[in-house]
Amino acid sequence: MKDAVIRVQGRGEVGAEPDLVVLSFKASDRSVDYADAVARATRSVESLRGTLEEHGVARTDLKTVQFRVETDYEWDSDHKEHLFLGYVATHALRLVLDRTHDPGKVLQAIALEAPGVEVRISFEVGDRRGFRQRLLAAAVEAAHENAATIARAAGVRLGPVLGIEYGWTEVRYSSSLNMDTMDLSELAAPVISFEPEEVRGEESVTVTYAIAGPADPPR
């Protein structure tokens, strides 16, 4: 059985409770004047920062991830031309909180005190490296179990590992509870309660084992 091998794939799946709340905000405003559009959007952001600070969130925890100013036009079908409507300034911001914060209460406070801001909410795993390592370990363990099952069924013994192949996999670190962008003014009613599902991830490896020879006869 020289050079005989068993080549198997192992798929590991691991779950983890999300320990982070991620709020993605978008504050936009428009004006026919460039500077005024920027100033309006900036005031919305400052109002948002102030509200968060009142509820125990440091102003510096709200991070700007994008800022842009775009021109806005409307097509005039009568005159066959684009009419300039003004400038739209947009701040995109991200806030990461641990699960000790109640996201429903935070969102309601923003809806009441900083209206005009849109939000998207998700729940994520903070220790991404540890989560991926658990996935890889589970994948290798699954590969070994698969190889052992095949070897028993074939009446052979597994030898040493000859090779491991791993193709990088995109791991999702957020739970399936994922609220699309919405106007926070809709949350001025009762506080929303959130209970996200656990985060599920998958990784795969391919392991090649040598076949050491026929299985030992039963005693």
> How would DSSP label each residue in 72-138?
EEEEETTTTEEEEEEEEEEEEEEEEEETTS-HHHHHHHHHHHSTTEEEEEEEE-S-HHHHHHHHHHH
pLDDT, tens digit (0-9, with 9 covering 90-100), for 135-161: 999 999 999 999 999 999 999 999 999
Q: How far apart are CA 113 and CA 122, in angstroms?
A: 22
What is the pLDDT averaged over residues 77-96? 90
Q: Would you give the distance in Å from CA 99 to the centre of its chain?
A: 15
Q: What is the pLDDT of residue 142?
A: 96
DSSP state, 56? T
Q: How far apart are CA 138 and CA 183, in angstroms?
A: 41
pTM of the model: 0.71
Q: How far apart are CA 81 and CA 73, in angstroms?
A: 10
Q: Are 111 and 184 in contact (CB under 8 A)?
A: yes
Q: Are 123 and 196 in contact (CB under 8 A)?
A: yes
If one counts every other C-beta atom within 10 angstroms of the C-beta of residue 37, the result is: 22
Q: How far apart are CA 80 and CA 74, in angstroms?
A: 11
Model confidence at 1, in pLDDT bands (50, 70, 90)? low
Token pair for residue 72? 């806005």
Residue at 12: amino acid letter? G
70 sits in the region (left: phi over 0; alpha: psi -120 to 50; else beta) called beta
Model confidence at 218, in pLDDT bands (50, 70, 90)? low
CATH of the domain spanning 5-214 = 3.30.70.2970
Residue 45, pLDDT > 70, answer: yes
